[in-house]
Amino acid sequence: MTIKMIATDIDGTLVNDNKEISPKTLAALKAARKKGVFVVLCTGRPVSGVKPYLEQLGLTQDENYVITYNGALATNIASGQVVVSNTLDYSDFTKLDSLSHELNVHGQAIQPSSDLYVTTPDISYYTVLDSFYTKMPLHYRPQAQIPTEFPMAKYMWADEPAAIDQALPNLPTAIKEDYYTVRSEGWFFEFLHKDAHKGKTTLELANKLGIKPHEILTAGDQQNDLTLIQAGFGVAMGNAIPEIKDLAQYVTADNNHDGLGLAVEKFVL
């Protein structure tokens, strides 16, 4: 098996519970990159939210790529050029934001520029945290003041898990059919373009780089990694949810015990 690309989730996969890349995993990924293997971080965050990891891995120069917003964008890190884009527009925003108000759940819109918008002054605690940790500027605008030219990487519910639990049974079937939806955390539920998910964007990026699916090692642990695991040789973390482990070709150690690094050593180096 010849691996030419490693596409990995970050939280619960690349990093341990302290949000750190272990020395073993860092060394393995750097060795893979030195060997010519692409290392692609696949995350729900914007580029600004993963920059420290990109710098630590040495991925900020030359031909390196990152997949952000759970697959809405794939970007050349050095140039900032977007090479894969599956975004939403103003009509999607008004539809999803109005639904949030109707179902009494806090919503937030995130633009490809990494600007985060809310339309109610009662801003969710989870929105504030998201803005802080991912370094996304937070803006309040009433819905009527949002410009009609409003590209959106994704729309999210950001609320107490119980509030999202209560809203989900009332989610219209048409919404489920029109968007790719995923519960990325207990307090986050995301709405993306139908073609925007980690797996499809990984395959699109790989195709542009001349890499075939069987030449990709993918790694993840949560529901938003299901399509990623299926996009290549899937490695489930020891801490992964059962669905991920069932789909994976290999189950490694957990994220606190060098799971990703061990898998890279075994299958790539």
Q: Among candidates 194, 182, 185, 189, which has minimal Cα distance to 166?
A: 189
139 token code pair: 């803006």
Which residue among 9, 11, 92, 258 is the active-site one?
A: 9
User: Catalytic site residue 130?
Assistant: no
Q: How far apart are CA 14 and CA 142, in angstroms?
A: 38
Helix ranges (H only) for the chain are 23-34, 51-57, 90-103, 125-134, 161-167, 173-178, 198-208, 226-229, 242-247, 259-267
86 token code pair: 């599956």
CA–CA distances in Å: residue 222 to residues 10, 11, 219, 231: 10, 9, 10, 15
- β-bridge partners, 82: 75
Residues 6+ apart with CB under 8 A from 122: 106
- Find the distance separating the first CA and the last CA of the chain, reported in whole Å: 11
Contact present, 142 and 101 (Cβ < 8 Å)? no
- Backbone phi and psi for residue 61, each to the nearest 5 degrees, phi listed first: -125, 170
Contact present, 54 and 77 (Cβ < 8 Å)? yes
Alpha-carbon torsion 69, 6, 224, 22, what sign?
negative
Catalytic residues: 9
